[in-house]
Structure 1
């Protein structure tokens, strides 16, 4: 596969991710992390690869950090932040390290506290909270089975 074909495939993946609900720039930045041969990337590297400004990449990198797909690495001697796709990115996406899941759970708790028991809003928010609590309770076993299945043999 040529370099051009490789990056066309990356852009196609980003399009699919965007159609699935991911913000466009986050999807494109994630595609860079997935398709690059480099160990790490800076915002400038991502911007260069995508042909956009480094500023437009900033929000995408923050979003990918917040859901645990990428991580910031120390880069002694470099004035730029370096990032890489986490080895456990997909498991982290569905773990308690995912700040979005915790934010949703806390939002439900805040809403429950602000509504009266018996209100329709209270019932909806309670169901939301219960779902996220259930999800967080089930994830450790699911992730353990994933790790067992994909552990080095």
Structure 2
């Protein structure tokens, strides 16, 4: 077994884990390419070739990874192809993006609280849900600050 084969097997296992975590299949496999590449940047064509996937599916995966802030487009003077790389702050950016999910959970809990009576068990559960997400949202800035201090 050669190192390149083992390398790609590890990438595919990571992609499977990401898929189980809710990422779309092609976005997970594309992200694995970015994580495991030894190149400064990659093109959509290079990803499609490595994954043996269609240009359209890779294009959609790149678009979704750009949208959530995990990858970035690089200037590529002299090249007609777009070049992409994993952002240096990819994980903090992704986590910060989760604030929209947390806000949505807060809003959903608040809407439920407004429609239930205080003595209702649903009201109590929704109040606890709201308190948790409110707490989580308040902790994110300090958590990211500590992360940035740790990573320099």
With the length of structure 2 as denominator, give the TM-score of the two structures.
Answer: 0.77
Q: Deviations over 1:4-28 (max 9, x none)?
A: 1111111111111111211111110
Written as runs of structure 1 = structure 2, the 5 A alignment for 1:2-151 is 2-95=3-96, 98=97, 101-102=99-100, 105=103, 117-118=114-115, 134-151=135-152
How many angstroms apart in 2 are the aligned matches of 1:68 and 1:138?
A: 21
How many angstroms apart in 1 are the aligned matches of 2:133 and 2:95?
A: 11
With the length of structure 1 as denominator, give the TM-score of the two structures.
Answer: 0.76
Residue correspondences, number: 145
**C-alpha contact 1:10 1:35 (8 A) present in aligned 2:** yes
Residue 107 of structure 1: CA displacement? 9.0
**C-alpha contact 1:105 1:128 (8 A) present in aligned 2:** no
Q: Note the residue ranges of structure 2 that are not aligned, 5 or more in a row.
A: 117-121
How many angstroms apart in 1 are the aligned matches of 2:133 and 2:73?
A: 27
How many angstroms apart in 2 are the aligned matches of 1:89 and 1:76?
A: 24
Q: Deviations over 1:69-89 (max 9, x none)?
A: 111111112222111000111
How many angstroms apart in 1 are the aligned matches of 2:105 and 2:69?
A: 20
Change (3 A) 1:61 1:129: farther
**C-alpha contact 1:105 1:129 (8 A) present in aligned 2:** no
**C-alpha contact 2:105 2:133 (8 A) present in aligned 1:** no
Q: Secondary structure at the match of 2:88?
A: coil
Larger of the two Rg values belongs to structure: 2
Q: Secondary structure at the match of 2:60?
A: helix
Residue 135 of structure 1: CA displacement? 4.0
**C-alpha contact 2:43 2:83 (8 A) present in aligned 1:** yes
Residue 130 of structure 1: CA displacement? 7.1
